[in-house]
Structure formats: C-alpha cells, structure tokens
Amino acid sequence: MKIGLIGAGSMATALARGWQSPLVVSDPNEARARDLVAEKEIDGVAKSVVSILGSVTVSEVRAAYPASPAYRVLPNLPVELKKGVLCWPLSNGIEGNAIRDHFAELGRLIELDESIIEQAMALSSNAPGFLAFVVEAFVEAGVAYGLSTELATELVTATMVGTSALLDARDGDAGRLRREVCSPGGSTERGVAALESAGLRQAFLDAVEAVVAPR
C-alpha cells in the first residue's frame, strides 16, 4: 500500500516511523516535510483519504472528498513503536478493511461507535500527553526531595514501563495492582491517600471533560 501524508507534524511522523514504508508528504512547512521524507523513499499515489482529525466525523470527511473512498481513524503517538492505540469508527464500514488492517499493524486497533469516539480519544490520543505530564510532575517531586533529574527520570520511566506490563498481565485491573502494592498502613497507602486528597481523580475527570466538551 502506498501512503501519502497531508501534514508532517508529530502524529504524521509517528505513523511514518511505525509503518517504515515509502511515502509522500505534503505540509505548509516545507522544511518539516523535507525532514520527514528524508527518513523515507518518496513514492505513492493517494487512492483513499483517511482523516486523523478529532471532532470531524466520517460523514464530514466523505462530504469533503466525494470522489474518493474516505475513512477516519484516531491514532496515538506510540504508533511510532507499533504500540499505539487506534480508534476505528464502525461507521467507516466494511469496505475499509484493507486500510483498517494497515493501521492495525501499528498497535491495538479498537472498533467503536463514532458517538463515543471523542471520549475514547481522551483516553488514547490525548492520554500520552497527560501521562507524560504525570511523569514530569513525579520527577519534579523526586528532585525536590534530593534526587538528581537524571536519576528521578530513570526511576519513574522504568517503573512506568514495568507497571504498564503488570497491568497488561492483569487484564488492566488497576485496582488490583494498587491493592497489591498498598500494604495496610504502609508508605504507598499514605501516598495514595495524599493523591486522593489532592484531587487526582477529579483532575483526570476535568482533563477528559476539557477534551470532550471544550469551552
């Protein structure tokens, strides 16, 4: 399959690196486009249109491109490592299976009703930014208590990777994992209580609301 990308931003770059295949890139910023295609052979002729835009429905994409088969998918940045989450609206229809399979190469493709895709996007497409912000804050807390930035970063990122693997092994049961780590009256339990008191749950609720219902 030959690929063309309109735009050479972070997501386009992640998709290109994930596929590792020849592509054509168009971007208003010529230098950015050249930087991306410098990693790949330029080739390809677009025969279908796939939108990765939030808040633009499949029907709107098809109305904009009436002469071409058009689809929609919402990937996240880890597609660069073939570890992405890609939300695929059922309204794309079965005729998009070849394209669906091509995107599925980049990670876990989840089919869902388009009516909930913005909510899903908050927990997938936007979430790497939210989780990276958590890591930043956690590292800063370690530095505030005497660790070097380098050591704090290594500890937090390595622990996040291991925790992610544990969650996957436990079918995503975060409550179970939290209870396993929290010895009664222990330091982790005290830390979790502090996070709860500081409003961590509400902060994430507010973040999702900001995505789904921006003011």
Residue 44 confidence class, pLDDT cut points 50, 70, 90: very low
Name the residue ranges covered by the structural domains of the chain: 3-117, 127-212
Rounded-to-integer distance, Cα 109 and Cα 104, Å: 5
Please, where are the H alpha helices in 170-199? 174-181, 187-197
Residue-wise pLDDT for 126-157, tens only, equals: 999 999 999 999 999 999 999 999 999 999 99
> Residue 22: its pLDDT value, please?
66
> Residue 38: its pLDDT value, please?
55
Looking at per-residue pLDDT, the higher value among 32 and 152 belongs to 152
Strands 3-6 and 23-26: parallel
> Residue 43: its pLDDT value, please?
32
In CATH, the architecture of 127-212 is Orthogonal Bundle (1.10)
Rounded-to-integer distance, Cα 83 and Cα 78, Å: 5
In this predicted structure, the answer to whether residue 211 has a pLDDT above a threshold of 80 is yes
> Residue 41: its pLDDT value, please?
40
Q: Does domain 3-117 have CATH number 3.40.190.10?
A: no
Determine contact, residues 91/114, Cβ cutoff 8 Å. Answer: yes
In this predicted structure, the answer to whether residue 42 has a pLDDT above a threshold of 60 is no
Rounded-to-integer distance, Cα 160 and Cα 178, Å: 13
Rounded-to-integer distance, Cα 205 and Cα 130, Å: 12
